[in-house]
Amino acid sequence: MRVLHFFKTYWPDTFGGVERTIHAIAKGTARYGVQSDVLSLSDEPERNTQEFDGHIAYKAKLDFEFASTGFSREVFGRFAELSEKADIIHYHFPWPVMDVVHLASRLRKPTVVTYHSDVVKQRILLRLYRPVMHRFLERVDRIVATSPNYAASSHVLQRYGDKTTIIPLGLDEANYPPPPEHLKDQWRRRLSRPFFVFVGVLRYYKGVHFLLEAARYTNADIAIIGTGPMASSLKAYANDLGLSNVHFLGALSDADKSALLDLSIGMVFPSHLRSEAFGLSLVEASIFGKPLISCEIETGTSFVNVHGKTGWVVPPANPPALADAMSSLVQNPDRAKVFGDASRERFEKLFSAEQMAASYRDLYEVLLTWRN
């Protein structure tokens, strides 16, 4: 069986949450004899078309970007060429150009789309795009939502409940080996007080400015791992607030991130808008058996983190609630341990890359049988 994954970006150009998911599916389903290809856009398609971890990352020339959407004339021909060799086409939504490519191709192969997120930010452009989007979603064979929470709260997915299934995102625990003691000792010396971690790209919807306000009301330290377009403004805001308990650590190696996750009290994840569709960083913390703090935004974050079981789910954009949640875990380590154990158990049950890959393998086989 041969599967073509199609998304706007992929390694080595970028390797964010969607790209990591594509990689995990391609790598995991290979164990079941599935051969995967990935097609995406690149400024340098010839240079960046490469073999990656057992599959080929193909590129079409990126002409320009507008409203976070990459456009390409070449991609129509590349898609036609690669889809001809594939048994199944696996789309990753949202990317409006992908919809147009599919509709223009008159494709007669089985199709599945992983619905990673609604179109949230580009509301004006959504009015123009909506007819194309629904025509695309009507024509694909199956839609995968990454959590029941998102499927229930998305007005778009509610229209396609009869062909929507749930496959949660998963991570490969092998990518998070136990950190060496010497590295943990280095971080213990640098962060000597109890601390929470935040991991993520510093974007507008991550709610980190609310976390900074909450930091004024807690005695715990907060280690912020990651960088992004809001890094400078957030650092300036922390300076204005006079926060000595917040540490901007920037982008770190996987080993350093693992060490900090292992040493932390838990994960605090203040994303306050639906642009945060799942929250893989919460799953990362679950691998290390850590309690979780997140906000109720009716997305996958409240599927990963179950209120009162794996941690606390608080109202969004609410610094006092974030501070209270952090303080409760600092003051009650036994409760934090119970939450952390449940978090680890939930990872093993629902969020491993192996389970995700097996679920997609099963779906691929159903699609082939149904079409044949």
197 shares its domain with 143: no
Average pLDDT, stretch 180-207? 96
How many domains does the chain fold into? 2
340 shares its domain with 357: no
Residues 6+ apart with CB under 8 A from 22: 5, 7, 10, 38, 92
92 shares its domain with 111: yes
249 shares its domain with 115: no
218 shares its domain with 267: yes
Give the pLDDT of residue 235: 98
151 shares its domain with 53: yes
Could you write out the DSSP letters of every residue in 254-321?
A: HHHHHHHHHHSS-EEE---STT--S-HHHHHHHHTT--EEEE--SSTHHHHS-BTTTEEEE-TT-HHH
Average pLDDT, stretch 154-168? 97
Q: Name the residue range of residue 248's domain.
A: 173-350
Q: What is the pLDDT of residues 40-95, one digit of tens each?
A: 999 999 999 999 999 999 999 999 988 778 999 999 999 999 999 999 999 999 99
Give the pLDDT of residue 123: 66
Torsion sign over Cα 259, 231, 214, 299: negative
Q: What is the CATH number for 356?
A: 3.40.50.2000
Give the pLDDT of residue 372: 58
Average pLDDT, stretch 302-312? 98
Query: Does the structure show a pLDDT above 70 at 285?
Result: yes
Give the pLDDT of residue 69: 85
Residues 6+ apart with CB under 8 A from 371: 109, 110, 141
89 shares its domain with 143: yes
CA distances (Å), 311 to each of 252, 282, 320, 340, in order? 25, 11, 16, 8
Residues 6+ apart with CB under 8 A from 307: 296, 313
Give the pLDDT of residue 290: 98
261 shares its domain with 140: no
Nearest to 297 by CA among 269, 270, 272, 319: 272
Rg (CA), the chain: 21
231 shares its domain with 114: no
Q: What is the pLDDT of residues 222-262, one digit of tens each?
A: 999 999 999 999 999 999 999 999 999 999 999 999 999 99
Mean per-residue pLDDT of the chain: 95
Backbone angles phi, psi at 64, to 5 degrees: -165, 165
237 shares its domain with 274: yes
Q: How many C-beta atoms surround the C-beta of residue 66 within 10 A?
A: 9
Query: Does the structure show a pLDDT above 90 at 16?
Result: no
158 shares its domain with 188: no
The model scores a pTM over 0.75: yes
